[in-house]
Amino acid sequence: MLPPHPGVRKERFGCCAQGLVFPRAKAPRVVEYLNAKQSGQIDLMLDDLAREDKLDRYALYPVQVQHIVESRPKFRKRYNSARGPGGLEHDI
């Protein structure tokens, strides 16, 4: 991404993201971090993680990812306190 392509911008926010994409190597850290937090707005918690780990955040315009909302009762019970962007629960 050097230099960033048109439509790719470095952002200083995590709120209301349509989707968040991580390198596979970072997935264990993301899971560990979210499990430790246990509750909160997922997109904002991930923004905190990026700041703590000194990671850059980029936004693609136009948006390339759409929400996928999980609504199965089993998932809802496990992650009842997790709220995704825009007040949507259970974004995956």
State the Rg of the chain over Cα. Answer: 14
Q: Residue 69 belongs to what domain range? A: 8-83
From residue 55, give the alpha-carbon distance in Å to each of 21, 26, 46, 61, 74. Answer: 13, 11, 11, 20, 32
- Is 92 part of a structural domain of the chain? no
pLDDT of res. 74: 55
31 lies in some domain: yes
Number of structural domains (the chain) is 1
Q: What are phi and psi of 82, to 5 degrees?
A: -80, 130
pTM over 0.85: no
In a domain, 54, yes or no: yes
Residue 1 lies in a domain: no
Query: Worst-scoring range by mean pLDDT, 33-47, 61-75, 78-92?
Result: 78-92
Q: Please say if the pLDDT value at position 86 is more than 90.
A: no
